[in-house]
Structure 1
Amino acid sequence: MSTSQPEASRSADDRTTPDALLHTCPGTGVAPEDLVMATGRDITPANLEWARRKLETEGAAAIEKLLP
């Protein structure tokens, strides 16, 4: 589809983000803060400790379970 077409005339499918762009990239390093924020929790010492333990056991893929 051409990008010169006005937004109002595009179908709803043209405005959605492609699935391939929604996935995270675990190879870039996931910090405990990232995991806590992905759950919608506040960054507190207890939540950071939970995230550290989860990252130790599941690795960076732990965030993939929370994000598409």
Structure 2
Amino acid sequence: MTDENRQPLEETPEVADAVEDDVAVSAFVTGGGPDSDNPEFLEPGAEPAVRTGAEQEWEPVDLALAEGRDPTPENIERARRELERDGAAAIERTVP
């Protein structure tokens, strides 16, 4: 088929069939639960259930890796001092 005889994609029967198809795609159906289009709203004054990275136990090597550093003895020692000095705030800065 030459370029002169080509039909624009928008005018092909396959596209027309797809446009007329109103069937929902099961992968996109959320079942009506909360999602980015249908958020769940809290009552006024209600506290959200928020979990942060600092709620679990952190080893200095974990903090060094989370900061993108190699787990060398120097980086692990720096992370240990940071955890001792700042506690959960050291983690929150890196993994909120």
TM normalised by structure 1 equals: 0.63
Q: Which has the larger radius of gyration?
A: 2
Matches within 5 A, 1:1-68: 5-7=26-28, 13=36, 20=50, 23-24=52-53, 26-68=54-96
Q: Which runs of 5+ in 1 are unaligned?
A: 15-19
Greater relative contact order, per chain length (Cα 8 Å cut-off, separation 6+): 1
TM normalised by structure 2 equals: 0.47
- Percent identical across equivalent pairs? 44
More helix by share: 1
Where do 4+ consecutive residues of structure 1 move more than 4 Å?
A: none
Q: Which runs of 5+ in 2 are unaligned?
A: 1-24, 31-35, 38-49
Aligned length: 55
